[in-house]
Amino acid sequence: MCKVYTISILRYPEKDYNEKKKGESMQKLLYAVVFIILSAAAHSDERCFDYKKGKAILKELEGMVEYTLCAQPLPAERVRSGINTVLPRVMNKAFLGVDPPDNWQTMVNEVQQTCLKDHGNLCSDAARKEVEACVSAQLPVLILFWAPWFAEHCKAINKAVILDWKQKKPQVQQWINAFKQQAIN
């Protein structure tokens, strides 16, 4: 079992509370995703996840996503299509170091159908707030789904993704760029 500390992930630096940044909603969504994954191991005896490296990677991902995807309007319909194309490249043994949980695609599809309405621009503040509220409402179910799998495979995921991030990062950036191309074409 893994031991992970997640409480500070949900805290923002003081300056972020006082500033209205374009990427604040995206940041909250990314933090929510990390919280879901890491919460599985919060009460175990052994720490298997490199929290500092994971947090640094999260910041890099946030920047890559915000810079690449929200440079222009991002329609929800194209985002759904891009997710269905790109996410299987991440959710596999070659990338994660372990097989993903059974029915992960079903869970992703349910979140997409529920939360990604037909917005003309998912990067707009109104759309971000709506998607964020929808995903937040589904957090308990998402945690129940992902937590046992992550707790079981924490060490392998840490080794394959977190500790090997220098090799994974260009691949992830390429996928984000491909996602953008599919989303805007």
Q: What is the pLDDT of residue 145?
A: 87
Q: What's the pLDDT score for residue 36? A: 59
**Counted domains in the chain:** 1
User: Angle CA(92)–CA(96)–CA(98) in degrees, nearest 5?
Assistant: 75
The parts of the chain modelled with pLDDT lower than 50 are 1-23, 41, 43-45
Sign of the dihedral defined by the CA atoms of residues 34, 36, 37, 41, in that order: positive
* pLDDT (0 to 100) of residue 25: 53
d(CA 11, CA 65): 20
Distances 110 to 19, 95, 114 between C-alpha atoms, Å: 33, 23, 6
164 located within any domain: yes
> Tens digit of pLDDT for each residue in 21-66?
444 555 555 566 666 555 554 544 456 777 788 889 988 988 888 7
Tokens standing for 93? 């043994």
Q: What is the span of the domain harbouring residue 177?
A: 7-184
Is 140 contained in some domain?
Answer: yes
